[in-house]
């Protein structure tokens, strides 16, 4: 039987459509970097959806992520070309643009593999109903689920010094943690619990209450403590905005302020995110811009 014809994947990623707390390849981003940044976004977004969205079984999710990982290996193969790389053809809008970005900008593929490792871990933990023992374990997850994105962006911006990388890690981990404390009404019903066992024990929060989304006084103290932790980490990394050049630095300011604004809303509603999910709206944009100017 003759081999099926290989349709070249698109060289430009589809526009972003998911809700995000922060801008993705906005007009503030340098024009020549919008394509690789969007390609990285879609790689991460699609893998996250494979691990989390829909009603697929855990094994199907793991199988899909394995295929996705194989496509990444093909995209990273220096001998492959966009028209001949043996992609699975399931995600042409992802791996066509990513293939070009990897080779045009020498993207560190290990960082993309770290993202997949984190998504696979999510599937395992959701399947097994297991959470995180302590903050060290949760931070290791963030090291793979969030920090690679910041490091990939710094690579594109030509920023490589150790201090900037550490600041980027703080910002990205803080954004991930803020997302956790913003989203328990979405995560917990899906079997994803990012409140560590050690933090719950310290505040006297029962797992049964947490899984039932009971907004007890103990849970309020837990969420307040977790929000303070994320805020301190964000502020620790915020000096990075002065190291990223040009308009990208201003976009980063908005990223930082977007995360901090979510924390403002969590505090304003009394840390009751087991009942209500806070979001950044249009009215918050002026506040974020004003604060960005004075960073």
How far is residue 59's CA from residue 122's CA, in Å, rounded to a whole number?
Answer: 12
- Tokens 């390849």 — which residue? 25
Closest by Cα among 225, 292, 205, 294 to 255: 292
Q: What is the 3-state secondary structure (H, E, C) of 59-84?
A: HHHHHHHHHHHHHHHHHHCCCCCCCC
Tell me the C-alpha to C-alpha distance, in Å, between residue 199 and each of 14, 207, 221, 266.
Answer: 40, 11, 10, 18
Superfamily of 133-295 according to CATH: Farnesyl Diphosphate Synthase (1.10.600.10)
Is pLDDT above 90 for 107?
yes
Closest by Cα among 71, 101, 76 to 89: 71
pLDDT tens figures, 219-232: 999 999 999 999 99
How far is residue 226's CA from residue 79's CA, in Å, rounded to a whole number?
Answer: 46
**Mean pLDDT across the stretch 161-185?**
97
pTM of the model: 0.87
Amino acid 138: pLDDT:
98
How far is residue 39's CA from residue 98's CA, in Å, rounded to a whole number?
Answer: 5
Is pLDDT above 80 for 15?
no
Q: How many CB atoms lie within 10 A of CB 198?
A: 15
Lowest mean pLDDT among 8-12, 169-173, 273-277: 8-12
How far is residue 234's CA from residue 173's CA, in Å, rounded to a whole number?
Answer: 8
Residues 26/251, Cβ–Cβ less than 8 Å: yes
pLDDT tens figures, 236-251: 999 999 998 888 888 8
Amino acid 23: pLDDT:
44
Direct distance between the N- and C-terminal alpha carbons of the chain, in angstroms, rounded to an integer: 63
Furthest-apart CA atoms within the chain: distance in Å: 67
How far is residue 74's CA from residue 258's CA, in Å, rounded to a whole number?
Answer: 36
Residues 252/271, Cβ–Cβ less than 8 Å: no
pLDDT tens figures, 113-158: 999 999 999 999 999 989 999 999 999 999 999 999 999 999 999 9
């Amino acid at each position: 039987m003759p081999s099926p014809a290989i349709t070249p994947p698109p060289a430009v990623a589809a526009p972003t459509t998911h809700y995000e707390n922060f801008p993705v390849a906005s007009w503030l981003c340098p024009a020549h970097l919008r394509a690789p940044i969007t390609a990285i976004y879609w790689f991460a977004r699609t893998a996250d959806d494979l691990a989390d969205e829909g009603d697929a079984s855990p094994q199907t999710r793991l199988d899909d992520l394995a295929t996705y990982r194989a496509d990444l290996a093909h995209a990273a193969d220096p001998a492959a070309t966009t028209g001949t790389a043996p992609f699975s053809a399931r995600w042409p809008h992802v791996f066509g643009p990513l293939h070009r970005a990897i080779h045009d900008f020498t993207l560190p593929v290990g960082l993309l593999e770290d993202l997949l490792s984190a998504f696979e871990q999510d599937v395992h933990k959701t399947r097994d109903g297991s959470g995180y023992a302590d903050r060290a374990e949760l931070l290791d997850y963030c090291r793979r689920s969030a920090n690679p994105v910041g490091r990939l962006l710094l690579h594109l911006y030509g920023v490589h010094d150790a201090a900037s990388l550490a600041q980027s890690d703080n910002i990205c981990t803080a954004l991930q943690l803020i997302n956790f404390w913003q989203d328990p009404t979405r995560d917990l019903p899906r079997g994803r619990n990012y409140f560590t066992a050690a933090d719950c024990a310290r505040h006297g929060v029962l797992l049964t209450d947490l899984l039932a989304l009971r907004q007890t006084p103990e849970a309020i103290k837990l969420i307040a403590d977790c929000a303070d932790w994320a805020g301190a980490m964000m502020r620790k990394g915020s000096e990075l905005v002065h190291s990223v050049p040009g308009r990208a630095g201003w976009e980063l300011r908005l990223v930082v302020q977007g995360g901090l604004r979510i924390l403002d809303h969590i505090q304003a509603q009394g840390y009751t995110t087991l009942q209500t999910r806070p979001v950044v709206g249009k009215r918050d944009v002026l506040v974020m811009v004003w604060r960005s100017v004075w960073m």
